[in-house]
Amino acid sequence: MSHSAVEVLWSRNESPTVKTLAFKWDQEVLPGQFVMVWTPGIGEIPMSLSSLGEIKTITVKDFGPPSAAIISTNPGNKLYIRGPYGNHFTRTDGKKLVIGAGSGMASLAPLVDKNTYGIISAREKSEIILTGNFDQGKVMVTTDDGSMGFKGNTIEALKVFDAKVDMIYVCGPEKMLFAVYNYLKDRGIRAEFSLERSMKCGIGICDSCSIDGFQLCRDGPVFSIDQLGSMKEFGVSRLTYSGKRIQM
């Protein structure tokens, strides 16, 4: 479980609370896999990579001390990373749609190519990120308050989305994942969802990431729409970092 120390090469603000940091890391990572990023003395959190070339990136939202510490790592300083862990999205050469809400768009970004459409949702304009990854005319932005793009939520955008796609990939808050799951489950479309749970070890030891007999760090974080159908906890409850079960 040793960490690689990688130097931050550059950073870029994606929004007032989201920042992308780039580093060189000679490790193969597949779309949807995650790494554990450690800040000595503060903590370690799981993060998906937002680009996977020779120069890799993480796109971080300030959710608390560990993510704030990562965001404030300046070019020239080091990040401490271990992994990659978990399974990955199934690649398809056909047409695809990625649905990302908030910072969930970061883990979908490596899937985006010329055959990819996008629905990006957030509460308001300042939370919309990574629209520039899509070809012109292929991304629909929705905000709850109408400050950018379509005024409404992800489901309302899905109802007006009219391109035919072979696969849908989804990442974001579980409330949104649950709504998209319910919208898609009887429509016969292949879909994969990236879930989020508290993670401590990242390698199947601590069980902090368990959901209905699956461990997110080993069996996920990516699950098919059929697997989600067998999970009673999906969209209902989760364990906090301290092990307390809370309702969604």
Positions 125 through 184 that interact with ligand FES (CB under 6 A): none
Query: Tokens 């965001």 map to which residue?
Result: 71
Q: Given the structure tokens 């749609």, which residue do they identify?
A: 97
CB of 25 vs ligand FES, minimal distance in Å: 21
Residue 167 beta carbon to ligand FES: minimum distance, rounded to whole angstroms: 26
Beta-carbon contacts of 76 under 8 Å, excluding residues fewer than 6 positions away, are 7, 8
By beta-carbon proximity to ligand FES, the closer residue of 185 and 218 is 218
In angstroms, rounded to a whole number, what is the distance separating the alpha carbons of residues 178 and 101?
12
Which CB sits closer to ligand FES, 49 or 217? Answer: 217
CA distances from 150 to 1, 56, 98, 154 (A): 45, 31, 17, 10
Q: Are the C-beta atoms of residues 82 and 62 closer than 8 Å to each other?
A: no
Our CB check for ligand FES shows the closer of 10 and 241 to be 241
Total site size for ligand FES, rule CB under 6 A: 13
CA distance 189 to 166: 7
For the bound state, the minimum distance from the C-beta of residue 220 to ligand FES, rounded and expressed in Å, comes to 9
Tokens 């109802």, residue located? 159
Asked if residue 83 binds ligand FES (CB under 6 A), the reply is no
Q: Are 7 and 24 in contact (CB under 8 A)?
A: yes
C-beta closer to ligand FES: residue 149 or 202: 202
Structure-token pair, residue 32: 């949807």
70 vs 216, beta carbon nearer ligand FES:
216
Which of residues 2 and 74 has its CB atom nearest to ligand FES in the complex? 2
| Structure tokens, 237 | 């409850």
> Nearest distance from residue 198's CB to ligand FES, in Å?
8
**62: number of Cβ within 10 Å:** 16
Contacts (CB under 6 A) with ligand FES, residues 179-238 = 199-202, 204-209, 215-217
Q: Footprint of ligand FES on this chain (CB under 6 A)?
A: 199-202, 204-209, 215-217
